[in-house]
Structure 1
Amino acid sequence: ARWINPQVRGWINYYGKFNRSALYQTGYYIEYKLCLWASKKYKRLKRSREKGRNWLRRIRKDHLRPTFAHWEFVS
């Protein structure tokens, strides 16, 4: 999250004023890539995108503050 959040916040600030729909697509793409990363990194997820998605949802639910910047506008 440390290396991706500043970049994504910059996109949100810039494109959020002019092309909000592109931000949603980008947010979903980032979410997709995070699911793939998690499913490859953790053996218990066994390279399954569905298990990676559920893991990411659980993290989102457990944290009061958004861990990733794109969670502020992509639900």
Structure 2
Amino acid sequence: MFTSFMPAISRDALKKIGAQVRSWRLHQRTNQSFADLARKINPVVRGWMNYYGAFYRSALYPLLTRINAYLMRWVRKKYRRLKGRRKAQQAWQGVTERYPRFFAHWTWVNTGPAVW
């Protein structure tokens, strides 16, 4: 007998959202500022977090971490002095500590990506 149910985001929805994040091509928008990127993606990501993360938020963590990976790639391409991994991680940590709510998903996942 089935006695439990875990209301989480489905695999199909996660794939669809992942495809949308890829279509943004954040890492290639080096002509835009960090604030411009935040203005573009925050309403969409906040909606996903409110809708899909209402009951089982940890199911969204891999997706939000991947958004961070795209943002880290953006930082490393835009600011050439941060091309090295260690410098980029230090800069990332400084920004997330100073502006913890700059991106909507940083309230849940603000660590730098382990792989990029």
Which of the five TM-score ranges fits, normalised by the shorter chain?
0.7 to 0.9
- Residue 43 of structure 1 deviates from its aligned partner by 1.4
Structure number with larger C-alpha Rg: 2
Of residues 15-24 and 4-13 in structure 1, the stretch that sits farther from structure 2 once superposed is 15-24
Q: What secondary structure does 1:3 align onto?
A: helix
What's the counterpart of residue 74 of structure 1?
109
TM-score, reference length from structure 1? 0.82
User: Greater share of helix residues, 1 or 2?
Assistant: 1
Mapping of 1:53-72 within 5 angstroms?
A: 53-63=89-99, 65-72=100-107
Mapping of 1:1-75 within 5 angstroms?
A: 1-46=38-83, 48-63=84-99, 65-75=100-110
Contact map agreement 1:9 1:69 (CA 8 A) in 2: yes
Aligned residues: 73
In structure 2, C-alpha distance between the alignment counterparts of 1:51 and 1:28, rounded to whole Å:
19
Q: Structure 1 stretches of 5 or more lacking a match?
A: none
Q: Structure 2 stretches of 5 or more lacking a match?
A: 1-37, 111-116
Contact map agreement 1:39 1:51 (CA 8 A) in 2: no
Contact map agreement 1:45 1:52 (CA 8 A) in 2: yes
In structure 2, C-alpha distance between the alignment counterparts of 1:33 and 1:74, rounded to whole Å:
14
Structure number with the bigger relative contact order (C-alpha 8 A, sep ≥ 6) is 1
TM-score, reference length from structure 2? 0.56
Q: Percent identity?
A: 48
